[in-house]
Structure 1
């Protein structure tokens, strides 16, 4: 492991950026390669400010560009693959999501074999495990339960198939005669400073007199703070390079969570934003079964109109199920094999995120003041 180097795909994303910041603290790391499709000047500025002994190389490239991937992989010892298309509502064409999440992952695996990269960590999702029905209750689930999503929606399907490809690639022969070692980390809802999920929920609430959306109030999930999620990826990278730990990790997947209380996404957003006056919606909402069948009706209308008109429903059955299920997981296996312990407590994570939400509230007030002037 001394003198190792790491390529991070999706390096400009929420999780990718945090992984790079944590890699920068690794003393033995010689080079960090940051691959992203569309780095902004702000991304580049943040990367240039990294205080690290490692060389930082910024690579602009597409996950579907095989030549770009081969160049990016040359000479690195670890690939952490976080690049993905996260689409729940069908805003992105199905084939695009499948190409990025599945084909892109396969191309990256092929590039690792060609460039003889021995370690590959895949940032997967709990959505590959379900939930398949809002009536299904999974509490503190574990890897041995073998939960698997049956949804054909492009996001859970493509993440599931990509994870299978990554784990199946474990043990593949590399061009230099070495062996590829892989594992996958199943990540739930990630929150923290810069989270698009949190930002979306907060901004919608600010436009609605400070009332948070109620969609998801029946769910119970096990969210994870972004720093803790990133830390799990660093530990997996170290573990797969460690001759003693590696045999137990190779070809395995792990659920990653932390000490954040298991709660609904709405309650999580409330806990993070209540210091700034945001509040829960106390109004009446449709019963779950009715909401589910309404989603089915909207999907049917969308399907029937497809030949003549592109109609995207405001919600679908997958979204209704995901946001209204009891679906939590334990990180005990990651604790055992990776030595994973959350670095940031729930209270510290809440405070950090709440301070950032405060800046969103101030921005909103600033815009309102500008309009009234």
Structure 2
């Protein structure tokens, strides 16, 4: 009778490994001696020691092929949060995650680490040093966040000592760094269009921005500390740079570093939020006739004009988390990685 080979603890899979965070995670895992399988809808690079599996997240058979002999899975596949494709969010974040859990359990995977989001507790009002025991947002700021809440619940509820299947969720906030396709390119594009002259509110609101290498570090620490008797089982953890910064100071440092002017004119928060709300209502009413994509959405205004920073105390205590790269060093390295976005280039 053939005996089942126990998956190697150094063999893992990264679902969404072709994305911004996923690729940084894969590279660090390889550096640490892991054998890595990547599962994604596309392959964007090649790396020695990494096998790529292209497929749809909702295709369980394709997932099972990628998860063969794997003991640890990182699930960081997600559409870009600023998309307005509700069906895609539902399919990837909810239905896809449900399929990932089923495939993990069938393949004998022991650990699943989810990339969640700190926004699952954010309702557009101030959060200062928020802890993980904050309730899920009853009124999420957008549909992306609504599906991330459902996703996190699915993963954490799947944790089972009886089945030998252990799960944990990492909640990063404001991820940035080299190769980021969102934050810096969108910021520069707005500056080039003359849209980065204004500060929403008084500019004093503190926010977490987290360097991608620190997010990766948090994921790997969580995976290595996730054991049957550990406090991580079925829990969520905030991972940030642990250095809240004024939202507009961060934006200014990135813009000035790339040769653009820092925003300097103040607009009242309530006024801008009200206008954004009216524009959003207008787009909803006119959607059957014409597609409008306003620059200012209520979600973006809330993110730019409120306090939202989070405590890493639980991660420090339970897995010894400490940021590897300081915020200033992270900003310097990020700006240096975008020579093609410098003013005049």
TM-score, normalization: structure 2? 0.89
Q: 1:277 aligns with which of 259, 263, 266?
A: 259
Tell me: CA distance 1:151–1:261, structure 2 relative to 1, closer, same or farther (3 Å).
Answer: closer
Match of 1:370 in 2: none
Match of 1:22 in 2: 28
What SS does the aligned partner of 2:56 have? coil
Match of 2:178 in 1: 193
Correspondence list, 1:287-298, <5 A: 287-298=268-279
What is the RMSD computed on CA atoms of the aligned residues?
Answer: 2.4
Q: Is the 8 A contact 2:215 2:240 kept in 1?
A: yes
Is residue 343 from structure 1 mapped to residue 329 from structure 2 by the alignment? Answer: no
Deviation at 1:69, TM superposition (A): 1.3
Match of 1:204 in 2: 190
Match of 1:237 in 2: 223
For residues 342 and 105 of structure 1, the distance between their equivalents in structure 2, rounded to whole angstroms, comes to 28
Match of 1:144 in 2: 133
Match of 1:304 in 2: 285
Structure 2, unpaired ranges of 5+: 1-6
Q: 2:147 aligns with which of 148, 155, 158?
A: 158
Q: Which has the higher helix share?
A: 1
Q: 1:109 aligns with which of 101, 113, 117?
A: 101
Is residue 365 from structure 1 mapped to residue 310 from structure 2 by the alignment? Answer: no
Q: 1:32 aligns with which of 28, 33, 36?
A: 36
Q: Is the 8 A contact 1:204 1:212 kept in 2?
A: no
For residues 156 and 32 of structure 1, the distance between their equivalents in structure 2, rounded to whole angstroms, comes to 29
Q: Is the 8 A contact 2:24 2:212 kept in 1?
A: yes
Match of 2:120 in 1: 128
Tell me: CA distance 1:319–1:274, structure 2 relative to 1, closer, same or farther (3 Å).
Answer: closer
Q: Is the 8 A contact 1:202 1:357 kept in 2?
A: no
Tell me: CA distance 1:337–1:201, structure 2 relative to 1, closer, same or farther (3 Å).
Answer: same
What SS does the aligned partner of 2:133 have? helix
Residues 146-202 of structure 1 deviation map (CA, whole Å, 9 limit, x = unaligned): 3535227310100011001100101076xxxx4210010111001111222112212
For residues 281 and 137 of structure 1, the distance between their equivalents in structure 2, rounded to whole angstroms, comes to 22
Tell me: CA distance 1:328–1:261, structure 2 relative to 1, closer, same or farther (3 Å).
Answer: closer
What SS does the aligned partner of 1:247 have? coil
For residues 37 and 247 of structure 1, the distance between their equivalents in structure 2, rounded to whole angstroms, comes to 33
Residues 17-46 of structure 1 deviation map (CA, whole Å, 9 limit, x = unaligned): 11111101223x3x2011221223xx22xx
Match of 1:180 in 2: 165
Is residue 249 from structure 1 mapped to residue 232 from structure 2 by the alignment? Answer: yes
Is residue 86 from structure 1 mapped to residue 59 from structure 2 by the alignment? Answer: no
For residues 147 and 66 of structure 1, the distance between their equivalents in structure 2, rounded to whole angstroms, comes to 29
Aligned residues: 337
